């Protein structure tokens, strides 16, 4: 087992659940973990396959896409990919904390307080724009995909939200 695999096995129980659910042999699973980690680090599928499985680049070109499309590999990618919010959570917390220090400091000038409030506005707006939509498969077992999408769109519209071209949820004003 490589050093990279040992690092990845910190959450061994969750990874073992994935391995057993898809009935993957342990040695292949370890190589798959290396493959996924290299892809998540930005390496191409072919190069990641060469490094994980120790084969030639020609063989990797024929096998890497098939492995990458495998359900267990996709499940590993979903599990191991860091959440976008978690990437900058510490930084965001530090910025908000510093802004609040300036605002709450009685020695801060009016200009400093105003600038701190302006700097905090994007973080406040981002929190307001987060819309949690409960999706329960058990509740929608008989619904078609179109019906489910229509329901989700209705929920967004009721909350005064809309999805823009970039796929972000934004506030909109009701036009009557």
123: domain range?
Answer: 86-129
| Residues 76 and 91 occupy one common structural domain | no
Could you give the number of structural domains in the chain?
A: 3
**Alpha-carbon distance 149 to 155, whole Å?**
10
| Residues 62 and 76 occupy one common structural domain | yes
| Residues 9 and 52 occupy one common structural domain | yes
Per-residue confidence (pLDDT) for residue 136, from 0 to 100: 43
**How large is the average pLDDT for residues 87-100?**
68
**How large is the average pLDDT for residues 47-59?**
93
- Name the residue with higher pLDDT: 167 or 130: 167
Per-residue confidence (pLDDT) for residue 88, from 0 to 100: 52
In sequence order, the β-bridge partners of residue 171 are 161
Instruction: For residue 162, report the phi and psi dihedrals to the nearest 5 degrees.
Output: -155, 155
| Residues 9 and 67 occupy one common structural domain | yes
What kind and span of H or E run contains 171?
Answer: strand 169-171
Whole-prediction pTM: 0.45
* 49 close to 35: Cβ distance less than 8 angstroms: yes
Encode pLDDT of 104-134 as tens digits. 889 988 888 888 888 777 776 665 555 444 4
Does residue 176 sit within a domain?
A: no
Mean pLDDT in the chain?
A: 75
Q: Is the pLDDT of residue 138 over 70?
A: no
Q: 61-77 as b/e, with b when 16 or more CB fall inside 10 Å?
A: eeebeebbeeebbebbe
Per-residue confidence (pLDDT) for residue 85, from 0 to 100: 53
């Amino acid at each position: 087992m490589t050093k990279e695999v040992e690092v990845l096995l910190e959450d061994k129980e969750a990874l073992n659940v994935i391995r057993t659910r898809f009935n993957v042999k342990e040695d292949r699973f370890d190589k798959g973990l290396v493959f996924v980690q290299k892809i998540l680090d930005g390496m191409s599928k072919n190069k990641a396959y060469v490094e994980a499985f120790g084969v030639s680049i020609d063989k990797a070109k024929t096998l890497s896409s098939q492995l990458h499309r495998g359900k267990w590999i996709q499940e590993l990618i979903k599990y191991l990919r860091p959440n976008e919010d978690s990437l900058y959570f510490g930084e965001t917390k530090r910025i908000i904390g510093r802004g609040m220090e300036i605002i709450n400091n009685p020695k801060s000038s009016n200009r400093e307080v105003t600038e701190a409030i302006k700097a905090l506005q994007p973080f406040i707006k981002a929190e307001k724009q987060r819309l949690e939509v409960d999706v329960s498969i058990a509740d929608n077992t008989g619904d078609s995909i179109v019906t489910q999408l229509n329901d989700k769109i209705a929920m967004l519209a009721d909350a005064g939200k809309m999805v823009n071209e970039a796929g972000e949820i934004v506030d909109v004003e009701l036009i009557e």
